[in-house]
Structure 1
Amino acid sequence: MARSYPSIILSTLLLFLPLLTGVEAEAKKFPVVVSTWPFIEAVRAAWRAVDNGSSAVDAVVEGCSACEQLRCDGTVGPGGSPNEKGETMLDALVMDGVTMEVGAVAAMRYVKDGIRAARLVMKHSQHTLLAGEGASAFAISMGLPGPMNLSSPESVNKWSDWKENRCQPNFRKNVVPANDCGPYKPIDVSREVLTEYSCEMGTAEYRLPLVGPHSHDTISMAVIDKMGHIAVGTSTNGATFKIPGRVGDGPIAGSSAYADDEVGGCGATGDGDIMMRFLPCYQVVESMRQGMKPEKAAKDAVSRIARKFPDFVGAVVAVDKNGSHAGACHGWTFQYSVQSPDMDDVQVFTVLP
């Protein structure tokens, strides 16, 4: 006997029900916010934005901006990490994993909103990166407040104490100062003579500046929005007592962060002068494209650096397009923060070297 049309329709729906349920379960993994370090308030700010329907790019900007306003660890936003002249300068980047557009600013003075300046570069120019005075002028012309002094009482005091300590440690090498704090001139001597000279200065740190989470750090954030689109962003005021004009990995796409909607994203933190030579976040994303899981991709990218620079300090966090995440580090214990639909609040994950 022939089956009725309602029976056929019902059977068809039952046949496809597991597939429909699977799609729904997959969608529930989004949105996701992942950030370097226990920058919990920054993750909450990004989560509020993306959970209310904002795009991944806009949520990244909100999250990194919150960290700038809070001056996370004294290494993000205005008021921290003075350079050799006592001035705070900002680096920031935002990348859209859908369009592969990037906006970034480097060594920016007089403007406190690093991540919003980077967003303006992406939105209102055909460039990828603006630096120095030009970045400041562009940001102000696009409506950001400025010019203003980015120093704080804390950064000024830190710089004064450093000056009293004969400007040690610093990022110079193979030089001799006319006075304790320069000006400097290059020298060409053997390693033995240079080491002897460094000891006479009273510390080996004359040639090996300390790098740590409170002297050399970045917020690097990845967000997957409700549509499954991914974006990444970074903000930092760079290495403490850096040489004026220094640009670290913060505004370099593929180094501090990278995103591709087809694969996932990555954020990095640590010794940017070393890490930017390897583009670790580009490596992470490409490894995941080839089939590696986030944990293996993160460990592989870090190990590539450690083989050449075993004393470097740094970390990466990887997130694939499905929201799975993992971190890897070298030289320190690393923490990163996550919020997703199955969490009541931000969770902090610890990664051992």
Structure 2
Amino acid sequence: MFNRRKFIKTGAASASLLLLDKQSFAEILPRQKTGKEQFPIVISTWDFGVYANKEAWKTLSKGGRALDAIEAGARVPEELDITNGTVGRTGTPDRDGHVTLDSCIMDEFGNCGSVAAMENIAHPISVARMVMERTPHVMLVGEGATQFAVEQGMKKEKLLTPKAEKAWKEWLKTAKYSPVMNVENGTNRPGGKYNHDTIGMLAIDAKGNISGGCTTSGMAFKMHGRVGDSPIIGAGLYVDNEVGGATSTGVGEEVIRNVGSFLVVELMRQGLSPEEACKEAVMRIIKKKPENAEKVQVGFLAINKKGEYGAYAIQKGFSYAVCNAEKQDLLISGKSYY
């Protein structure tokens, strides 16, 4: 029997972002609305996904391709959101003080690109797309990824911010690594010493084609060289244009072990709704390691070919954002096991 004891977590709505504040959120709902959605549509993980969606919508609303919308949207938390300590330029460093970034992208044709443990480049989502479109490979890592990015015209720059560096030095005083669930929703970002998470995005354009992306700086104070699920196709992201797409967030090791996003898409292929598929993927993680279920957070977000969307997480506190012609800045609280 699983221990169903509930943990109370502090985690209020997010702090104000650089360009927009949380008052722009239209509403927070306890669950998804059922029924068919009209295209185009974009969904993404966490509250900062609202702002990424707004940027993606500029492309989708003009009839643009979902892939272009994904890249444009993901670049917002990578670049402009100074309160976000989990993605891009303001990412929290590893235990050696290096900001290493992971990202992947996938289009409607099954093409995909990825970078992992890349340093000194602020927009890993764009580099991932370059890998997809300009090389015969799927993934580049470490120094090779940085070298490739510079060769493609990307600017090399220091990403460790003074605030993140201060948090890292404070952490070094105790050097005890223990990520806190859903801290990305807390008021202690940026640079919260246990901050760790991801933005995963999925979009369907006016032609009904699906693309997705995922980008992160990974767990705060991870071992140097650690790579989570975010840049791994099938784990942090998967798209099948005949079925739908899925992305994940939380402790990447658990997602990788279960090939989570691929699993969600395959479950939708078998007829499950997006929410049902996400729930089943979560339950498999819990079943394999019930003793760890109360200690970790993993959440999945999915959309099917009809434009129906849903999510499910192990712990409460996971949220996702939706943007379409009717809902420009909707934030939804996902269902959870605990």
Pair in the same fold by TM > 0.5? yes
Q: CA deviation at 1:211?
A: 4.3
Counterpart among 37, 49, 66 of residue 56 in structure 1? 66
Counterpart among 288, 291, 302 of residue 308 in structure 1? 288
CA distance in 1, matches of 2:93, 2:181: 14
Relative contact order: is structure 1 or structure 2 higher (C-alpha 8 Å, sep ≥ 6)?
2
For 1:313-338, what per-residue CA distance to the aligned partner results, in whole angstroms no more than 9, with x for missing partners? 11001110111001100023210000
Instruction: Look up the match of 1:346.
Output: 329
Alpha carbons of 1:38 and 1:135: their partners in 2 closer, same or farther (altered >3 Å)? same
1:168 equivalent to 2:208? Answer no
Instruction: Look up the match of 1:32.
Output: 41
Instruction: Look up the match of 1:80.
Output: 91
Instruction: Look up the match of 1:113.
Output: 123
2:164 maps to a residue whose letter is S
Q: Is the 8 A contact 1:314 1:332 kept in 2?
A: no
Query: Which has the larger Rg?
Result: 1
Unpaired runs of 5+ in structure 2? 1-34, 185-194
CA distance in 2, matches of 1:75, 1:309: 26
Instruction: Look up the match of 1:179.
Output: none
Q: CA deviation at 1:290?
A: 1.0
Q: Is the 8 A contact 2:182 2:317 kept in 1?
A: no
Unpaired runs of 5+ in structure 1? 1-25, 170-207
5 Å-filtered alignment, 1:179-258, equals 209-214=179-184, 215-258=195-238
Instruction: Look up the match of 2:166.
Output: 157
Q: How many residues align?
A: 286
Instruction: Look up the match of 1:95.
Output: 106
Q: CA deviation at 1:212?
A: 3.6
The SS at the match of 1:168 is: coil
Counterpart among 119, 129, 133 of residue 139 in structure 2? 129
Which of the pair is proportionally richer in helix?
A: 1
CA distance in 2, matches of 1:209, 1:348: 24
TM-score norm. by structure 2 comes to: 0.82
1:262 equivalent to 2:242? Answer yes
RMSD across aligned C-alpha pairs, in angstroms? 1.6
Instruction: Look up the match of 1:198.
Output: none
Q: CA deviation at 1:73?
A: 2.6
Among all aligned residue pairs of Structure 1 and Structure 2, give the percentage whose two residues are the same amino acid. 37
